[in-house]
């Protein structure tokens, strides 16, 4: 299994189900960035942000990782707003900070998601898969868990680490 994993979590609350699932899968010591605790300003066309913006710091951590896991709850049938705002900022990586964008080439991306439904909404993975492709990154797949079900070491949960 890949050792150098960075998880970026888009949940809108601090003590959240998404990180509970991630820790169940990847262990308590896994490196998780909680977007809700990070200052990532919304994308703007000038590419100029307040000094306390932490997007580039997060990108630097992505560059140090082999696998980047985008973890998000399902909110209104899609990724959370925090995750979408974060992905919008990737525009900086193909414009004002192209060199960093190019350096992401070949890194792996996986998605972990959960909600209180039986399955991922239709099309949920598409933005992640297409974004990875656009960035010349490798989309390795996703895991979804219905949080109404008890978290245990089932075959379904092992699926995600098999992907890596
Ligand atoms: C804004 C919002 C929208 C939600 N939309 C959905 C949804 O479309 N489908 C669903 O099954 N659950 C939905 N839920 C339930 C969450 O996916 C579920 O409670 C999840 O475990 C919350 O994860 P979190 O603690 O990481 O935020 C929604 C919850 C919130 C707060």
Considering the segment(s) 12-45+53-156 as one domain, its CATH architecture is 3-Layer(aba) Sandwich (3.40)
**How does pLDDT run across 54-107, given as a tens digit for each residue?**
999 999 999 999 999 999 999 999 999 999 999 999 999 999 999 999 999 999
Ramachandran angles phi, psi of 70, nearest 5°: -95, 110
Residue 21 has pLDDT above 80, yes or no: yes
Residues having CB closer than 6 A to ligand 1 are 11-13, 16-18, 73-77, 114-117, 147
Determine which residue's CA is closest to atom 29 belonging to ligand 1: 75
Which residue, judged by its Cα, is nearest atom 1 of ligand 1? 75
pLDDT in tens, 102-145: 999 999 999 999 999 999 999 999 999 999 999 999 999 999 99
pLDDT of residue 156: 73
| Spatial contact of 9 and 31, defined as CB atoms under 8 Å apart | no
* Widest Cα–Cα separation across the chain: 47
* Centre of ligand 1 from the C-alpha of residue 104, in Å: 30
DSSP H or E segment with residue 125 = none
Atom of ligand 1 nearest to the CA of 78: 8
Question: Long-range contact list for 61-64, CB < 8 A, 24+ apart?
Answer: 61/6, 61/31, 61/33, 62/6, 62/8, 62/104, 62/107, 63/100, 63/103, 63/104, 64/4, 64/6
Q: What is the pTM for the complete model shown? A: 0.96
Q: In this predicted structure, what is the pLDDT of residue 1? A: 63
Helix (H), strand (E), coil (C) string for 97-120? CHHHHHHCCCCEEEEEEEECCCCC
Q: What are the residue ranges spanned by the domains of the chain?
A: 12-45+53-156
Residue 113 confidence (pLDDT): 98
């Amino acid at each position: 299994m890949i050792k150098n994993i960075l998880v970026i979590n888009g949940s809108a609350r601090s003590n959240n189900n998404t990180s509970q699932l991630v820790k169940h899968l990847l262990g308590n010591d896994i490196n998780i960035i909680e977007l809700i605790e990070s200052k990532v300003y919304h994308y703007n066309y000038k590419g100029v942000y307040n000094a306390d913006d932490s997007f580039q710091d997060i990108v630097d951590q992505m560059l140090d990782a082999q696998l980047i896991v985008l973890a998000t709850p399902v909110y209104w049938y899609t990724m959370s707003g925090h995750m979408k705002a974060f992905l919008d900022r990737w525009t900086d990586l193909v414009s004002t900070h192209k060199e960093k964008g190019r350096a992401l080439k070949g890194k792996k991306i996986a998605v972990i998601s959960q909600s209180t439904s039986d399955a991922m909404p239709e099309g949920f993975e598409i933005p992640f898969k297409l974004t990875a492709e656009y960035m010349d990154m490798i989309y390795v797949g996703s895991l979804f868990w219905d949080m109404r079900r008890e978290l245990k070491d089932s075959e379904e949960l092992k699926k995600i680490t098999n992907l890596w």
